[in-house]
Amino acid sequence: MSQRPEVKVGVIMRYEHQVFLIRHKNPHGIETWAAPGGALPYGETPQEYATRKVLEETGLTMTADPTFLTVTNDIFAKNG
């Protein structure tokens, strides 16, 4: 288990009064709904990563630059 924290990025996309979600396919939260995103690779900005992940996971191209909203500090002890 790595003692280094991972930085995760989740992209909340709004259109009018709706929020766009995807269904998880990976073991963490399998078959649950979540925002597109994942672990931020070294050397990529959160904005670059958000834009890329939205395209990869949904096929959608963002028409505006992502804006930082919030940060959380979550520890998933069961997952290490």
- For the residues of the chain, what is the DSSP string, one character each? --SSPPPEEE--EEETTEEE-EE--SSTTTT-EE-SEEEPPTT--HHHHHHHHHHHHH-PPPSS------------GGG-
Q: Around Cβ 16, how many Cβ atoms within 10 Å?
A: 4
pLDDT given for residue 80 in this prediction: 64
Say whether pLDDT at 2 is over 70: no
The better pLDDT of the pair 51, 4 is held by 51
Work out the average pLDDT over 6-11: 89
pLDDT score at 1: 55
First and final C-alpha spacing in the chain: 6
Mean pLDDT across the stretch 36-63? Answer: 92
- Residue 50: predicted pLDDT: 93
Q: pLDDT grade, residue 48 (50/70/90)?
A: very high
